[in-house]
Structures are given as C-alpha cells and as structure tokens.
Chain A
Amino acid sequence: MQMKQKIKIGNFEALCLLINMFCSKLILDFPRYVSEDGGTASWLLVLLISIVVFVVFTFLARIYKKFSDKDILDVAKLAFGEPGKIIAGLLFMLQFLYLDTIVVREFAEDIKVISLTTTPISIIISLFCIGMLTGAFLGIETLCRINALAVPVLSAAFIFILLLSIPRFDSSKIAPWLGPGPAVLIKKAIPNISAYSELTTLLFIIPYLNDKGNYVSIGKYAILASGFFFTVGTLTYTLVYQYPMSTEFFLPLYQLARSIAIGRFLSRIEAIFILVWASSAFLYLSSGLYFVTYMFKKSFGLQTRKPLLIPFTILIFSIAMIPENLYSALRLKMGYYRNYAWIITIIVPLFLVTAASVRAKIERRNKSDEAKSQ
C-alpha cells in the first residue's frame, strides 16, 4: 500500500511563517532605513505602512475569495493561460531569489562585523546556505512547524530586549512627533510598503492550509502582529537613539541590545542576540529558498522540486558573493528592491486576480449565450 503524503499547514504555523518572513528585516536594517525616511516620526511611518498594507490585503483577500482553493499561479493560469502562469511565476521567483540573495549577504556581513571578524565571508555564507538547503529540502510543512516552534521564542527574546531598553527611553527624542510632516510621510510610505513584500508567500500556501478559508484571518493577524513588532521596535529604537543619530547604526537592534546595562550581570547580552538573529535568518532563508524552487517547479510544471535545491543554492551563493561589500549589498536592496518590490507584492496579484475574475465572467457569459442560441 503506497500512501501519498498530504501537506497540511495549520493556521498558527502559517501565521508564524509570515510573521518571521516579515519581521526578520527588523533585526537587520529596517529601523534604520525608516528612520532615514521618517526621521523622528519613523514609528508613525511604520504604523502608516502597516495600516495601508492591512487595507490593501483586506481588499485583495475579498476579490481572491472565489479562488480560495488555488494559489496565485493557478489564478495567473486562469487569467492568461500557461504563458501567464510562467511569466507570473518567474516574476515572483526572481523577487524571492533577489531577496534571499541580498538577505544572506546582509546577515553574513553583519555576523562578520560582529563576531567572526577573521572568518572569510564565503565561509559564513556557506554556513547559511547549509541551513537554508536543509530547511528547504524538508519542505514547507516542516518549515511552518519549526516556525511555530521558534517564532514565540524569538518574539519573547525580541520583547525582552525592548523591555530592557526602557531605562534608556527619552520621550523628547521622538519630537517633533510628525517628523518631516504628513505629506512627506505619506510619500515615503509607498516604497516602504515593500517591507511586507513577503505577503506573496501567503498566496502560495493557500492550497496547503488546513482550512483554506482562513487565509484571510491568517494574513490579517500576520500584518497586525508584524505591524506591532515593527512599530514597537522602531519606536524603541527612536526613543533610545535620537534622529539623525538613529540613521548611523548599520545594525539598529544589535546596537540597542549592546547598550543594555542593568546591574553588573545584565550587560553585554548582545552575543545572545546572535542566536536569535541567526535562527531568524535560517528560518527566513530556508523559507525563501523553498518558495524559489516551488515557484520554479510550479511555473514550468515540473514533477519534483528537490533537484532544484542544489542549483538554486549555488546560484544564491554565487550572486551573494557579487557585491563587493555590505554597502554594495545594501545599495542593491535600498536602491532597487525597496522601490519596486511593492509592485510585485500588491499590484501584480491584484491585476492577476482581477483579470482572472473578468475572464471567468466572460467565459460564463459566453457559455450562457451558447446555451441560449442552442
């Protein structure tokens, strides 16, 4: 008797996957670059982004409802046939490939700066690649489950760091409250929507959810929880480091952890931060690699995904080695990715779902016309 294993993802597991995918950038450079854009009102900027994403997602989820047993590539196929599926698949895949590549380089560079100063960057990236490959090999079910196990612990550690920073809070540091002004905040909010660019992953795991109809609440709760972490994290950072000083640290949360000093023994706890940080990175990168291979497999109708893992890992490793240094890697992210990723995350799915709905409607009308003529 051969039994095909079904992939089943619970609501909490999917929620944790999304939260980690969104929030891992919080421990990289998110507070810093929103500080650059929003100044003292960076936390308001983050709040604004979260609200916008929440509203847009609610709308997207509403029009997606009729396709709730399909992933976004199936929807693309409905809208534009096989070529549509391939183009959309490649677009999403390239987005994740780009993201995974930059993030692996960023994490590796940061680890090198903090603790492994004499280790070559290629070795550090290789270590990340091993973890990434193992995670992606074991599949989305395992990844979601390990996220469910790790995210509560990581969240607790994150909140612990924020709480220990309270003694250094200074409310005058977030004045003026509206920073550069409402108009600038709104203008700067648009490219920063890319902070939620991993929302696309939800559109790929819908068919695997235990209760497919729950994707709406999973998405909403993930945005709410991540919005909370983003806002609180940025607010804490701004309350401790005043603008423009807050734009100078290349690892804001690490800096925050480093500055914690409560009593004789609760000082210099930033090394523990590495454990949290690396765990979050492994989870993020393996999920990213999984989706890259899944999207490629699905776009081209391949039977298996696992043979793609080693080639794509080598590809990610090779591309990650291209930037000369951390600054170049950051420029790739800030200069290009952040400005355009929101189009792939928000506009493309909206366009595909609308097109599929219109096409379905036209087909229904044609069928009824044919039936009438007969």
Chain B
Amino acid sequence: MENNVLKWLKNIFLFSPKEPKYRFVLDDANNQDDNGGTDTSRQAKKDTEAKNGTQPKDEDKVSGRKAKNGKRTVVDGVKQPIPINEMNEKKREKKDSSANALFIDTSINVNLEYIKQRYSADINGDFVIREFKVIVMNKDYSVFICFFDGLVDTIVVNMSIIQPLMTLSTLPVNTKDQTVRDVVYNHLIPQSQIKICRTYQEVVDEVNFGGLGIFIDGLDVAFACDVKGWEHRNVEQPTSELNIRGPKESFNEINRKNSALIRKIIKDENLIVEDILVGERSKTPCSMVYIKNLANDSLVREVRRRIKSIKIAYLRDAGELEQFLEDSPYLPAPQMLLTERPDRVASYLSEGRVGIIVHGSPFAIVVPVTFFNLIHSPEDYYLRYPYATFLRLIRILGILFTLLLPSFYLAVTNYHHEMLPTDLLLAIASAREKVPFPTVISIFIMEIAFELIREAGIRIPGPIGPTLSIVGALILGQAAVAANLVSPILIIVVALTAIGSFAIPDFSLGYSFRALRFIYIILASFAGLLGISLGIFIHLLVLVHAKSFGVPFMVPFAPKTSRTRTNAILKTPLWKEEDRPDFINPKDIKQQAHISRGWLKRRGGANADETEDKDR
C-alpha cells in the first residue's frame, strides 16, 4: 500500500521511470543487414578484430557455418534459397513439436469423434460433417469432410471436392509406387489451395476460416482445402474519402480482396503481402504490405514486431489495431493513416511506407505518417498542382476555422475590442444586446448543439434523417436567435466552424480538432489571445514531440529535412517530385528521373535523354 502511494506520488511529481521508455528510431535502411546490424558496426567489428590481430570473419565463412548446421547453403559466396517444401516441413516439425499439438489418428472413427467433440457438432447448427466412401487403388476407404455452412462455397465443395473424390477414383490413373495420401493429393482433389495437416489444430484453424477438412481412414494426415465462399460486399465507391478525379474503388472486408486491389495497382513482384494472425481467439488475419526493395528494413521489422507482440482475444477492425500499434496513445492526433482507398495505399507503398490490412475491416493502415500527410487528400495527386495547392490552402483554412474561430471570436469580443473596426464592433454589440448569456455560454450552447446534431445524424435511421436536418437547422438557426439565446453573428461563427471541420480530409484528425476547440474556447474565455497562444504553444509542443513509427510527426518542418519540404503544404508539380520522402529512409530515394518528361528539350541542344538534338 505504502509502495503504491509512493509510486503514485512519484508519478505525480514527474519522476522518470527507472527503465528508459522504449522509443523506436527509424534509421538508415541501406546500412542494415538481415540481422539488424549496420555496416558501420560490422566494419567497426572488423577493425577491432584487425587491431587485435585476429582475422575478420568473412560473410561466406559465417554462412558456411550456417550451412553445416543445415540452415543455409553457400555456393560461390551466394546464399542459396531453401526449397519451399523443405522449409514447410521444418515449420511443420517445429509446430508439431509444441507440447499441445494433438496428432491426427489413423482411425477415422477417432478423428470423427474428436472433430464432433471439438465443434460440439450435436448443438452447432451450421457445422456440417459429410461421410462417404472413396475408392483408391481398388480399395474402399471411409472419408468424412467437415466445414461450416455459409462460410464455404457449396458449389466448389460439391464440384471440386466431393464429386472428384467419389468419381475420379474410378479413372485409370497410374498409381504405381504411390501411397494413398499421394494419390488423393495428386489425383483426386482438383483444388488450387490444399494443405496437408498433421495436427487437428491445423485443420481446425483452416475450417474456422472458411476451409474444409478431409479425413480419410488409415491416413495420419488430413487435407485442408480453401473453399471460402462467404457473403461479402463487393468493391464499391469510397464513402468517407470521396473524390471527383481518380479511381473510385474502395477496400471491402475481405483481406485477400484488399491485397488484390493493391496488387492490381502495383504490378511488382517485390510487393510483399506478409500474413500475421492477431487475436488469440479471433485469429484475425492481418497482412503487412510493403515493397521489399523500397521499404526500410528496420521499419518493416518494427511493424512486424509490434503486430506480433499484440496479445488480445479478439481483433475486429483496423481501428482497434491502430490503438494497439500507435506510439503515443494520449496524443490528440492520429499517428497512422486509415484509408479505404487502394490507390492511396499504393501511392504510400511506392514511397517506402508499410501498409497493414486487417481482415474484416474496409480500412487499411499506413505507417509512418506525418501531420501533413493527414491533411492531404488523394485527389491532390490527380489534380493539376495549382488547383491542388489552392485546395490544400482551403483545407488549412478549414482546420484553423475548426480549431480557432470560436475561441478567436470569444477573445476578440471579450478582451480585444480594439481589433474590430468600430462599425463591426457596434454591429456585434447591438446583436448581443438582447442575449442574456455571456458569449462563452452562447458558444458552448451552439457548439454542443451542433455536435449533438452531428452525432445524431450518424446514428439516426435513414428514413428519418431529413427530420433531424430540419429540427437541427431550426434549433441552430432561427429559433436560437429568435429566443435571444445567441446572437446572429455567433450562428455564422458556428456554421463556419462546422463547415471547416468537414473540410479536414482525415476523419480521425477531424475528431481531434473538434474536441480540442472546446479547450481553446475555455482558454480564450480565461485569457483572450494569451490563452489561445498558450493552447497553440502546448498543442504544437505535443505534436512536435510525437513520432509515428520513429518518424517525427511534424517533419519536414520540425525537424527540418532537406527534401520534400515543398510538398508538405504547397503542392509541387508532379514532374518535380523526383525524390521519395527522405524521413522514411527508403532504400531507393529516387522516385523518378531528374527529367521525367522525356519529351522536353533541354537548353544547349541536348534532349532529356542526354543525346544531341540534331534538329536544332
């Protein structure tokens, strides 16, 4: 008890924890080796060894040692890839060696009993077990398949699993020197994705995720086939990131569909979709998506490490995963980008960032991001740069309105009357004459009323939506003024604030500013512009201090970095965006050629491809 009190007091008085807080720092990718060491450290090690008179260990020698252990072979100094079969076999052995693994029995009755118990088949209405016979090498074998009704595609099950097993076995196939397992695997199941399972758990994991398990009497393995066929939304238009120009596809709830949507845009074999299961019970498939030869190795490792370290029971959405991954949970701004647009994810991946897709969520996560990424719209890249710059400035104005307009109005009317031209001051004063409340109360009434309407607008059933608009408009507008609760000018202020908040492209950032404006209102009511200055100062301090996966949140301005500064607020012409953002430390900083418009003729008579212009 005493210790707890002391600990609490220490926390109150800002004593640092004994263990330094972990903060990931994104370093240079090009110096990283596979083991996470840097070339410099390796060089330093070599130098030390040279100083001590010992011979530095060669990479090949190290690899040679690995080869002796049976891990990796080296031929002429080049590491040879491990065959997939061998690797899968090793993985399986490793998995099987775990204490809880229960191996599949050769007796079908034992297997059937186990599966029935495991799935409570007697009470589980949607769990299907179908028993039948199959003839292999002129011998009858009892077989049962199991799957969840509704999760699988019944046509595929009937046509590609049951029918071939029942009928194809009669075809004249050369089965000499083949085992029953091989015959079934090679000839009787015409399925593209089939897995041989040694333990029940492997089969159960597959069946739970829309697969189908096949058990054959006498075999100590089962087959798991991918026959997913559940109902899902089609690829539709984005709902929260609308645009006029550019693609109009959005993610849906299916992991593989989402990765395919990205692959459809980036046709690159280096695009890696790395699967990780999250959630001890939900076993939600998540995919880390990155371009292997662009994304910083340390960033990829960090994202993988964070995702794998999550220990929760259920993961339902990318929004939940975001909260488990973010650097500063108390920061009043999102540190990741959640987007429903595959083109946006693809664009960020091509800069060297990492995407995360969560099965069941129509939003993909992109990391790392900066504050300025959150105020960009995907449409910025599809519009000519003068328009895009104009739109960005409008958006910044929207942010300033959302955050500061009510507080600024309050500060000016309460503390700094001298700022207003006399006519305007008199107009405001006469409009407020009949209002019995102080300005701060009026602002709170209106802002809270607006927030209520907005929240209700999201929750309200569709058919009665217009009613809310009418009631809201009446309450917020005419009635409030007629009842002398607020002044007409305040209505304009609240309306501008609301419109400004809708101009913020990132939904999560919009929430942050909407909530923070109340703090600014309180500060302005206490100390006018000084209070607003204090708010801005602390707000900026917190944002500047924050990091998103090792990247400072306010980069490229704080800290200042050499490249890409121009594209943070003002849009640069696309042909000028030669480099990828340097703060992400991509493996290849060059995004496009110095002269990307090859048709241009350079001064001095040379073409863009450096050949002499003979027509000149």
A and B found bound together: yes
Interface residues, chain A, CB within 8 Å of chain B?
1-6, 8, 10, 12-13, 111, 115-116, 119, 123-124, 127, 130-131, 134-135, 137-139, 142, 145-146, 148-150, 264-265, 267-272, 274-275, 278-279, 282-283, 304, 306-307, 309-310
Question: Contact: A145 with B538, CB < 8 Å?
Answer: no
Contacts of A150 in B (CB 8 A): 540
Contacts of A149 in B (CB 8 A): 540, 544, 554, 557-558
- Nearest chain B CB to A132's CB is how many angstroms away? 10
- Bound Cα distance A54, B260 (Å): 63
Q: Interface stretch among B19-27, B162-170, B386-394, B592-600?
A: B19-27
- Bound Cα distance A304, B17 (Å): 10
- Is residue B352 within 8 Å, beta carbon to beta carbon, of the partner chain? no
- Known interface pairs A116-B527, A145-B559, A148-B558; A278-B534 also in contact (CB < 8 Å): yes
Contacts of B21 in A (CB 8 A): 5
Option from A8, A111, A134, A265 in Cβ contact (under 8 Å) with B530: A111
Residues of B512-545 at the interface with A, using a CB-CB cut-off of 8 Å, are 526-534, 536-538, 540-542, 544-545
Contacts of A119 in B (CB 8 A): 527
- Bound Cα distance A355, B498 (Å): 65
Question: Contact: B22 with A270, CB < 8 Å?
Answer: no
- Known interface pairs A271-B416, A282-B534; A146-B540 also in contact (CB < 8 Å): yes
- Per the CB 8 Å criterion, the residue count for chain B at the interface is 40
Q: Interface stretch among B8-16, B223-231, B430-438?
A: B8-16
- Is residue B232 within 8 Å, beta carbon to beta carbon, of the partner chain? no
Question: Contact: A307 with B15, CB < 8 Å?
Answer: yes
- Bound Cα distance A8, B239 (Å): 42
Contacts of A124 in B (CB 8 A): 527, 530
Contacts of B122 in A (CB 8 A): none
Question: Contact: A138 with B545, CB < 8 Å?
Answer: yes
- Bound Cα distance A148, B561 (Å): 11
Question: Contact: B541 with A271, CB < 8 Å?
Answer: no
Option from B23, B537, B540, B542 in Cβ contact (under 8 Å) with A5: B23
Contacts of B24 in A (CB 8 A): 3
- Bound Cα distance A150, B540 (Å): 10
Q: Which residue on chain B has the smallest CB distance to residue A308?
A: B14
Question: Contact: B13 with A282, CB < 8 Å?
Answer: no
- Is residue B418 within 8 Å, beta carbon to beta carbon, of the partner chain? yes
The 7 closest A-B pairs by CB, nearest first: A278-B533, A145-B558, A271-B416, A271-B419, A149-B558, A282-B537, A142-B545
Question: Contact: B541 with A2, CB < 8 Å?
Answer: no
Option from A2, A6, A310 in Cβ contact (under 8 Å) with B25: A6
Question: Contact: A271 with B558, CB < 8 Å?
Answer: no
- Nearest chain B CB to A6's CB is how many angstroms away? 7
Question: Contact: A127 with B537, CB < 8 Å?
Answer: no
- Bound Cα distance A222, B16 (Å): 34
Question: Contact: A3 with B15, CB < 8 Å?
Answer: no
- Bound Cα distance A12, B534 (Å): 24
- Bound Cα distance A119, B531 (Å): 12
Question: Contact: B554 with A145, CB < 8 Å?
Answer: yes
- Bound Cα distance A270, B416 (Å): 10
- Is residue B552 within 8 Å, beta carbon to beta carbon, of the partner chain? yes
- Nearest chain B CB to A72's CB is how many angstroms away? 24
- Known interface pairs A275-B529, A279-B537; A4-B20 also in contact (CB < 8 Å): yes
Question: Contact: B528 with A116, CB < 8 Å?
Answer: yes
